[in-house]
Amino acid sequence: MSALAATPQDPAPRVPTVERADAVVIGGGPAGSVTAALLARQGMRTVLLERERFPRHKVCGCCLGPRGVAALARAQLGDAIEGSHALESVSLAHSTRWMSLPLFGTRVMGRDVMDSRLASSAAREGCDVRMGMRAAVVDAGGGRGPAQVSVSEAGHSQSRTILARIVVCADGIGGTSLSPLCGTASWAVEPHSRFGVAATLPAGTLGVPAGQLWMMSHADGYVGAVRLPSGDVDVAAALDPAAARRTGGPGALIAAVVAGCGRLLADAAAHRWKGTPALTRRRAWVARDRVICVGDAAGYVEPFTGEGMSWAIEGAVVAARIAPAVMASGDATPWSLALADAIGAHQRRCRRVAAMLRYPRATMCALRAASRVPGMRRRLGAIATGAS
Ligand SMILES: Cc1cc2nc3c(=O)[nH]c(=O)nc-3n(C[C@H](O)[C@H](O)[C@H](O)COP(=O)(O)OP(=O)(O)OC[C@H]3O[C@@H](n4cnc5c(N)ncnc54)[C@H](O)[C@@H]3O)c2cc1C
């Protein structure tokens, strides 16, 4: 059923040039796979298109906050994070000053494992999961006709068309699947936005203990490090692009931030760092005719509070609920309000935290002062993960 196990050697699947589906979901991250699983569970003919072949590395801090964990459990998809580790504390550092806050309910798991499992869950629910397929929306389905998605196999120019009653665009921060509809106007990137970068490093490269998250901040960006269940260390950062160029590249700047906090990252330049486009950005629109945007594809805020996956999952649950109405009416506009209702307040809090962190020294002083108030350390930990 699932195309997860497909390899480039497999014969091309026999699919007609024009097909019909109830729902096409573009992107197999948490937003796409959870939406696809829930749509298929409702009995809709659902096709999930993912341009990469899983397992794949994803730029991410790999910490799923308590709201994301709870949303997965409510959606009966909690088995995707079986074997994840509990995160017990976050240690915040600026310069060589560190302070620790307790965390409750956050889980750690590599995105290679988690995303593969979620896509498999979608396949188990009856979704037609196709890996190595790049999709683009060529018609949003105005005038009550179906939406049209053009699909081509990665590395092949030949394309097929899928006609759908709803298209869920969950193609993430670098997503271009809406470009045929709106070109470069698709995204408005905030000036001075940082970019993301991450690598999975062998155990021993950085001494972060299991169960702890290190968040090391600097005026030029911040670096998070966590031990994965595999024993490897996930290092993920949001960096100022000019500072990264000045310092000799992302690896060198990450090593400098870590060293500035009194820790050592061995052989930083030798690791394979994977980057993202500029992070903080808004979509020109998140709903049009039969198309809705979910997860990072709907807009993105700097990831310091580590909630992007939770928002993606929560958004997916609401998207699956609203989908039948969009399919019946061909009018996706209610989605904008539903999405803002589900995650808007959390994104605004994350924006405020990210803005404060542009002044890490002042932020650390304020945190230290606040943490002396009885009960405040626990409260700050909850705010940091969106659990409050
Ligand atoms: C440095 C950094 C650290 C982070 N740390 C955390 C953290 O600790 N916790 C947390 O919750 N969040 C974190 N995030 C955010 C988190 O990674 C994202 O919010 C989350 O991955 C969003 O999920 P998604 O499904 O919307 O998109 P994605 O996970 O990006 O999935 C999108 C998928 O779409 C596919 N795709 C793209 N274009 C096409 C196309 N045309 N056709 C078909 N498929 C396509 C991509 O290959 C990809 O698999 C971090 C982000 C960064 C940059």
Q: Is the CB of 66 under 6 A from ligand 1?
A: no
88-107+191-278+357-385 and 18-60+112-190+280-350 share a CATH fold: no
At 97, list the tokens.
Answer: 């000053």
User: Using an 8 Å Cβ cutoff, are 48 and 131 in contact?
Assistant: no
Phi, psi of 245 (to 5 degrees): -65, -45
Distance 370 CA to ligand 1 centre (A): 33
Query: 95 burial class (0-12, 13-18, 19+ CB within 10 angstroms)?
Result: middle
For the domain with range 18-60+112-190+280-350, which CATH number is right: 3.30.450.20, 3.20.20.60, 3.50.50.60, 1.10.240.10? 3.50.50.60
Distance 173 CA to ligand 1 centre (A): 7
Across the range 372-376, mean pLDDT stands at 66
CA distance 354 to 231: 29
Put the strands of the sheet holding 187-189 in their side by side order.
187-189, 281-283, 299-300
Across the range 81-100, mean pLDDT stands at 93
Q: Is the CB of 186 under 6 A from ligand 1?
A: no
Q: Is the CB of 315 under 6 A from ligand 1?
A: no
CA distance 36 to 194: 31
What's the pLDDT score for residue 351?
76
CA distance 386 to 307: 7
Q: Topology of domain 88-107+191-278+357-385, per CATH? A: D-Amino Acid Oxidase; Chain A, domain 2 (3.30.9)
pLDDT digits (tens, 9 = 90+) for 160-171: 999 999 999 999
- What is the CB neighbour count within 10 angstroms for residue 30? 35
At 238, list the tokens.
Answer: 């949001």
What's the pLDDT score for residue 3?
45
CA distance 364 to 320: 40
At 2, list the tokens.
Answer: 């699932």
pLDDT digits (tens, 9 = 90+) for 30-73: 999 999 999 999 999 999 999 999 999 999 999 999 999 999 99
- The pick from 134, 235, 296, 350 for probing ligand 1's pocket by mutation, whose C-beta has the most ligand atoms within 8 angstroms, reads 296
Mean pLDDT for the chain overall: 89
Q: Is the CB of 295 under 6 A from ligand 1?
A: yes
Model confidence pTM above 0.95: no
Instruction: Give the C-alpha distances (Å, rounded to integers) separating 83 from 16, 108, 220.
Output: 40, 9, 35
User: Using an 8 Å Cβ cutoff, are 248 and 231 in contact?
Assistant: no
Question: What length is written for the chain?
Answer: 388
Q: Is the CB of 293 under 6 A from ligand 1?
A: no
Across the range 344-368, mean pLDDT stands at 73
Which atom of ligand 1 is nearest to 31's Cα?
Answer: 25
At 282, list the tokens.
Answer: 């808004």
Confidence of residue 13 (pLDDT cuts 50, 70, 90): low
Single-letter amino acid, residue 202:
P
Domain-by-domain residue ranges, the chain? 18-60+112-190+280-350, 88-107+191-278+357-385
Is the pLDDT at 198 greater than 50? The verdict is yes
- What is the CB neighbour count within 10 angstroms for residue 318? 19
Instruction: Give the C-alpha distances (Å, rounded to integers) separating 194 from 108, 274, 281, 309.
Output: 24, 14, 10, 19
